[in-house]
Structure 1
Amino acid sequence: MLPLSLFTIRNFGWGNIATTFFYAALALGPLVVTLFLQQVAGYPATLAGLATLPPALFSIFLGGTSGSLAGRFGSRLFMTVGPLLAAAGFAWMLLVRDPVDFWTQLLPGLLLFGLGLVATVPALTSAVLGSIPPSRNGIASAVNNAVARISGLVAVAFLGVIVGPRLGVEGLHRALLVTLVLMLLAAAASFAGIRRPESSPQAP
Structure 2
Amino acid sequence: MKPSLFFLPFLLFLLTTQTQSISSATTDDFIYDIAGKKVDKNSPYYIGPVNGGGIKLSNSKCPVHVIQDPKKADSFEFVLNAAKEQFLRISYPLGVSIDLTKSNGKCKESSFLKIDDMESKPPANFIRSGGLFNTPVSCFQLVKYPKPTNAKVASYLLQLCPSVCGAGPSRCFNISSSVHKGIKYLGASGTPLELVFKKASA
If the length of structure 2 is used for normalisation, what is the TM-score? 0.28
Please state which structure has a larger fraction of its residues in helix: 1
User: Rg: which structure is higher?
Assistant: 1
